[in-house]
Amino acid sequence: MLTVFSDIHVRNAQRVTPNMSATLHAYSTRLAFDAVKLVEYACLTKNTALTGSKPLSLLHTLAVDFRLALRNVLRQRRRSAIAVAAIGFGVMAMMLTAGYIEWIFWANRELATGQQFGHIQVTKPGYQQSGQADPFAYILPDNSPALALLRHTQGVKSVAPRLMFNGLISHGDSTLSFLGMGIDTRQDPLAHNLIILKGTTLSAANPNGILLGGGLAANLGVTVGDTVVLLTNTPGGGINAVETRVAGLASTSIKAMDDVMVRVPIAMARTLLRVQGSQIWVVTLNHTDLTDSVLAQLKRQPSLKSLELTPWTQLADFYNKTVALFSRQMGIVKLIIGIIIVLSISNTMTMSVMERTVEIGTAMALGVRRQRIMILFLTEGLLLGIIGGMLGIALGYVAAIAISAVGIPIPAGPGFSHDFVAYIIITPQIIVEALLLAIATTLLASIYPAWRASRLVIVDALRHNR
């Protein structure tokens, strides 16, 4: 070993002073680098005195850096394990939080498309803005060729007409106002996606049965099988009424809606209102993700140019605000987890630099450039991030499966009528974001320790702890 140091001193006289050479001779037996590491480091310099070969290629150089970084990470097993655990648990916490929020988005999306708006609504122009004031001015005919075109469009599952109206509902001496909707009991998703509290949903087998919101039924004092009277104004200015029976009690999960909701077969609604047609054609797709592509396809059809096509994303105001709120909250969670990882890795890398000061000085004395020292420590941080990120992803995925198998009971929040059971949904995007978070934060945390290691003075580094 001493002979090697003497040879290096002679060949690198322009970079190693006599005092440095003496220090190398005096403390050579105490260097933490083994002989293999010294040779590998020397091979990275432009002056390859030990081997007499040409400088190594970039790919080979990076391979050597990676091998040395991995060896250094494994050498400090306890400290590396603590750092990997901090990264892993941070990534797992981020995945579980993001997975829970993803379930909230999914639940609200399905609520909006399945129980309220469908995926696309087709109306006469202006209905969405002014239709509440005069809904019967926007009636669509049932025999329109556009309706047949919609039903034969690729990706469309069903097209169902809806007829909106309001009026009074009476039972005995009790009379309350209601918001009614006539729906196609076979094609409209509302006929199947409502939560049935009691009785049955609407069906073609029971054309005289209606659904009442649970809150409206309780306020009116009726239950399944009771007879009620619906009273409403017709488009011509007259008054019409129909006597019918309650087939079931239902819930939309939104209390304000349950307190006024009445759902009837569309044939009954047309008879009550003395109209033909409907104000809305509700288009249901095979999958929610097809909304944009099918909407673009329909807008290119000449027969639909005179109609207004509105996607559910423009109608679901509650969903849009929920996404905006929780997306910002998720950004704060990621920031907190990132800060924790940065502090943990920064402490680990700083301690590693302090303990390996002599090694760093020796490497630079042998000809390793400061840039290579910095790259080495950044590679160590990158390895910690990758290992910790993969560990966190594995733990997070297993935890998500276990939690979803049991479910998370959620009490009814403000404006909702019943409790929920939540789950964790892990998507590929969440996994990618979790891994990127781990890698980015560890690299960020490694910058200052790596820069500090590369700025060490060779003589002072070799005399460290003396």
Question: Which pLDDT tens digit goes with each residue over 261-290?
Answer: 999 999 999 999 999 899 999 999 999 989
The rounded mean pLDDT for the chain is 82
Q: Is the Cβ–Cβ distance between 272 and 230 less than 8 Å?
A: yes
**Residue 412 structure tokens:** 């009814």
- What is the pTM (predicted TM-score) of this model? 0.75
pLDDT score at 413: 66
Contacts of 41 (CB under 8 A, 6+ apart): 33, 68, 363, 366, 367, 368, 372
Give tens-digit pLDDT for 242-260.
Answer: 999 999 999 887 888 889 9
The C-alpha angle with vertex 118 and arms to 107 and 184, in degrees rounded to 5, equals 125
Task: Give the total residue count for the chain.
Answer: 466
Give tens-digit pLDDT for 306-319.
Answer: 899 999 999 998 89
pLDDT score at 369: 79
Cα separation, 44 vs 64, in Å, equals 9
Give tens-digit pLDDT for 85-96.
Answer: 989 999 999 999
Q: Which residues pair with 228 in a beta bridge?
A: 244
Cβ-based burial of 448 (10 A; exposed 0-12, middle 13-18, buried ≥19):
middle
**Residue 346 structure tokens:** 């920064």
